[in-house]
Structure 1
Amino acid sequence: MSDQHIDPAGNTQQFRAFAQRQEQEAAAAPKKSPLVPILAVAVAIVIIGVAAFLLLR
């Protein structure tokens, strides 16, 4: 007896192709460098330090 159940999610092969395409696109995306946030924090610390020095002088 064959199973007459139809996959409600659609074609499994199409889903696998979609999932693989998403993984490949994610792998091809350039990696973001943490340099920008680190520089932003460093600049903020310097600005706060200079402001504190000027106010307490």
Structure 2
Amino acid sequence: MPENYTDPSGNTEAFRAFTQTPEATAPAEAPSRLPLIIGAAVVVVVVVALVAWLATG
């Protein structure tokens, strides 16, 4: 390591600037899985209804 190496974690100003970036203060939200769950439930209901209709017909 060179003699003039400066540890970035030892610099309070740099650390504060890092923690105040938009990425650090506002993490990206995960997309909602509710539409996927509702869609799967509809498919299951349709398949069960189809099987019941074929079984009784």
Q: TM-score, normalised by structure 1?
A: 0.48
> Relative contact order: is structure 1 or structure 2 higher (C-alpha 8 Å, sep ≥ 6)?
2
Q: TM-score, normalised by structure 2?
A: 0.48
